[in-house]
Chains A and B, each alone.
Chain A
């Protein structure tokens, strides 16, 4: 089936033309066009939210044909996948950031599980066919040895390191005769040595498979890829040959959208810091991984302090660590209004008037089945207590109406369930919940994720107003324009370390991105 060594430049292995995909009227992909040829290794890069994961979901069949516009041709035929299973059968395999293996089963079982019993190469559909274990282990070991992977076929997957689990996934894809293998941020959980080993594997496998490598890390991209395809705001903007480009150009193309930037004036905020963090480190308990190291900063009342960093840089973990809701061990000192504090839970922090808006509003923020009113007041019910925990519903209702007005939540009835609201309105409800607390420090993690442009502006305005009222705002965002539009200062993180603190005056996206992605490493080739 595989035409080894043949590389016909005229018929691409994968061609994507005019693919569009929208969610509730918001475009995730506007115009995606590219071609990939057999045996190439392509790096797909783009900012957070550029549409990479949506594109991957289309290629793997998570979004079935008909749920998007445009055409995808694979191996000369139109790709019309109806499910992820069909995607795998068609010859496209994806290795996700979170690995999709059965942790309690052996390597061999994971390799052959989706096959017909009894897994030893002789297909049978009888459910009670005896499983020939020895044959399975032998076959699995042979496969691993042939690929040069140092993995024991009898090992239980959860006992393996992340790097070895990735090898199992690669072997499985190979076994399923995948011709195109997509790796989504494969190195985010690997050590340096493991990364090098993975790269050797990919380089060796290049002859057998075609790769799409998705990564933020430009040094990796430049080491592996033959060609770099850049995705920005749901569009493929450039396809650059590695030999003819450099990291600076790639960064420019990644962020280079025209944005109306309100010209920031140099602004000095006076006053004593309300919160200051010194030498904060955070270590995970289970594997001892250092997710934050030696981070220090301070924020004054009325200031918006941005925190930037790529995925996995520890930007969300920093907020969670300060608030005491991140698993693991924290060290360093946090002082709030001049006193050292040691918050162990959000209730502790909230008692000191520090509020937090989590990143994943559906999972961590909202009570979806419950009404807007329920969501808005759940953190601040004390304000409506008559006595001994009994609520005054009419004063609560007045407060709800006031909050709905203040935040501009569009709804017909304050009792309607939050799940029917649009993303923007849901986010406003979430903001309203913490605004109701009138906090001194407001920590926002991705306050506009999945929110359309109009609602975004409204939310920005709310945040600016809150800061103008004297709140200290700490803003974590993956969107650089957002950080540039709002922040007074920006702390850039990379792999849990502070790479620099920039004053937002004449600051550019490129400058932040080069700190966050590590341009110095990438430009060598």
Chain B
């Protein structure tokens, strides 16, 4: 038994590393570094500063949160077009609870209630979409298109098409406050040391391929190192970043270490085979859309906190930004193939483009054109890297 295990790992070690197969990860990282350097040079050194990068990290949180859920959905070969509207609906509910129901008077309790309410509203919308997709077997595109219009309509109804502001001080802190630089340093170093220890153990026991270990090592060191540089030099880790990174880590965990994750890949990989393998397809799909809804709710309350109020038009085209990030991150729209790690890179690319172009003064109209080109280009490169 052990011998066979070892033999298999050994063979794996000796086999040549095929760089082409890692193109999918290398290309987006290269694009990120290149864009950062270009924008930095263009803006005369204003891009790569802790302050700007910290702002950038806060700007991408909403899209990151949506894109994590969207990755799960797209992995099942589905799609959820309603997330932008659900974001608006849940953000608006939170704002109304703060302003009209005066939960803002209740301090921390009120903020927590509003926060939970937003996620509940999102979860409910997601569950509805999920039920229609999994039980009524209507195409996700259609169901979520309908839900998109419904949620937008409900937002307009409950807000009477008016902006609702300002939120209470406590909820607003979700966006404006930071973990202290000291605790950020502590958190990031502990994470780095923890992951490195685990990786060394894996390396000694040969429980994971060497290349996988190196990859994770580099990613951890780069993220934690970058995090320390940015956040410890400027106020600390923003709460929003902390929350959405937590979501990303949970997503990675779900996909890799749970049955649910396997089932998600299985359904997207081959729906018929999944059914004939005893995968609970309906349950899995329902749960995935429910999780997406909860994340859209979370994104909604984050978005409201960011602008300290809610507008009925919040999150318009948010679903498309999320889908774009997922696709740029290498997840196949056919389902079954892709990772949250890729999506994080996709979100970063979109964020850097937005932030960088604004920084150097490209007009918003040109930004749209450029972003569109990047999406098409990214998918084309991904397509090419998949071909042998």
Q: Do A and B bind each other?
A: yes
What is the bound-complex CA distance between A414 and B4, given in angstroms?
A: 11
Contact residues, A364-403 vs B (CB, 8 A): 364-370, 374, 377-379, 381-382, 385, 389-391, 393-394, 397-398, 401-402
Considering the chains assembled together, what is the distance between the CA atoms of A393 and B202 in angstroms? 12
Which A residue's beta carbon lies closest to that of B272?
A: A364
Q: Would you call A265 an interface residue if the criterion is a C-beta within 8 Å of the partner chain's C-beta atoms? A: no
Residues of B within 8 A of A347 (CB): 278-280
Question: Is B177 part of the binding interface, using a Cβ–Cβ cutoff of 8 Å?
Answer: no
Interface contact A414-B8, CB-CB below 8 Å: yes
Interface string of A399-421 (1 = CB under 8 A from B): 00110010000001111000000
**Minimum CB–CB distance for A461 against chain B, Å:** 20
| Chain B residue nearest to A437 in the complex (CB) | B278
Is the CB–CB distance between A401 and B8 below 8 Å?
A: yes
CB pair A367–B265 under 8 Å, yes or no, is yes
B173 within 8 A of A: no
Are A356's CB and B4's CB within 8 A? no
A367 and B266 within 8 A (CB): yes
Q: Which residues of A contact B274 (CB under 8 A)?
A: 367, 378
Q: Within 8 Å CB of A315, what residues of B? A: none
Query: Interface on chain B toward A: helix, strand, loop, or mixed SS?
Result: helix
Question: What number of A residues sit within 8 Å (CB to CB) of B?
Answer: 37
Assess A346 versus B337: contact at CB under 8 Å? Given A378-B266, A389-B260: no
Complex interface: chain A residues within 8 A of B272 (CB): 363-364
**A347-B280, A389-B260 known; A398-B275 Cβ under 8 A:** no
Bound together, the chains give a CA A350 to CA B275 distance in angstroms of: 11
Find out whether the CB atom of B15 lies under 8 angstroms from the CB atom of A412. Answer: yes
For residue B277, CB closer than 8 A to chain A, the reply is yes
Q: Known contacts being A364-B273, A381-B259, is A413 close to B11, with CB within 8 Å?
A: yes
Q: Is A345 an interface residue (CB 8 A)?
A: yes
Residue A325, interface by CB 8 Å = yes
A401's contact among B5, B273, B277, by CB below 8 Å, is which?
Answer: B5
From B209, B256, B272, B273, name the one whose CB has the most chain A CB atoms within 10 angstroms.
B273
Taken together as a complex, chains A and B put the C-alpha atoms of A374 and B274 apart, in Å, by 12
Cα A367 to Cα B264 in complex, Å, equals: 12
B337 touches A369 (CB 8 A): yes
Q: Does B168 contact A (CB under 8 A)?
A: no
Give chain B residues whose Cβ lies under 8 Å from the Cβ of A363.
270, 272-273
How far apart sit A364 and B263, CA to CA, in the bound complex (Å)? 15
- Which residues does chain B contribute within 8 Å of A367, judged by CB atoms? 265-266, 269-270, 273-274, 336
Q: How far is the CB of B284 from chain A (nearest CB, A)?
A: 11
Decide: B276 and A325 in contact? CB cutoff 8 A: yes
Please determine whether B258 and A390 come into contact, CB atoms closer than 8 angstroms: yes
Does A358 lie at the interface of the complex (its beta carbon under 8 Å from any beta carbon of B)? yes
> How far, in Å, is A293 (CB) from chain B's closest CB?
25
CA distance A414 to B273 in the complex (A): 20
Task: Decide if B259 touches A389 in the complex (CB within 8 Å).
Answer: yes
Tell me if A391 and B276 are in contact (CB < 8 A).
Answer: no
Query: Nearest CB to that of A355 among chain B residues?
Result: B278
Residue A300 at the B interface, CB < 8 A? no
At the interface, yes or no: A232 with Cβ under 8 Å from chain B?
no
Least Cβ distance of A429 to chain B in Å?
A: 12
B257 at the interface (CB under 8 A from A): yes
Contacts of A350 in B (CB 8 A): 278
Q: Which residues of the other chain, A, contact B8 by a CB distance below 8 angstroms?
A: 401, 412-414
16 of the cross-chain contacts (CB-CB < 8 Å) are A345-B275, A358-B273, A366-B273, A368-B269, A369-B336, A370-B269, A377-B262, A378-B274, A379-B279, A389-B259, A394-B207, A398-B5, A401-B4, A405-B4, A412-B15, A414-B8
Question: Which 3 pairs across A and B sit closest by C-beta, in order of nearness?
Answer: A367-B269, A350-B278, A381-B259
Report which B residues bind A (CB closer than 8 A).
Answer: 1, 4-5, 8, 11-12, 15, 207, 209, 256-260, 262-263, 265-266, 269-270, 272-280, 336-337
20 further A-B pairs in the complex, CB-CB below 8 A; given A369-B269, A378-B263, A378-B274: A347-B279, A347-B280, A350-B278, A358-B273, A363-B270, A366-B273, A367-B270, A368-B269, A370-B265, A379-B277, A381-B259, A394-B207, A397-B5, A402-B1, A412-B8, A412-B11, A412-B12, A413-B12, A414-B8, A415-B12
